[in-house]
Amino acid sequence: MSREALRLTRNILLRSFVIGLVIVFLLGLATVTAWPTWAGLASQWFHADETVLTRLVLGFFLNVRFFLLFIVLAPALGIHWTLKSDKMLK
């Protein structure tokens, strides 16, 4: 890959990470503020108690954290580190 392609890939991954953080923050804020209302509705609609809903929500946020850190941020930092070390060598 050329340096420009690596830079583009790095920039896309870093921007995707920032956008993902903003979306997760907004989803977390909406979840915390609307939990008393929507937990009751969801337990009635899906016949699940609040402990099951809590596990589902926590599992969702853990999976999103795993995706953002290891699938998006780690390759972006690896590419960034590679570009920085190539610049120092030349």
Q: Rounded distance, CA 46 to CA 43, Å?
A: 5
Q: Rounded distance, CA 68 to CA 17, Å?
A: 6
Output the pTM of the full model. Answer: 0.84
Tokens 């596990």 found at: 55
Express each pLDDT in 22-53 by its tens digit.
Answer: 999 999 999 999 999 999 898 889 888 999 99
Contact 10, 80 (CB under 8 A): yes
Rounded to 5 degrees, what angle do the CA atoms 79, 69, 34 make?
145
Q: Which among 54, 64, 59, 53 is positioned nearest to 22, based on CA atoms?
A: 64
Tokens 């850190």 found at: 69
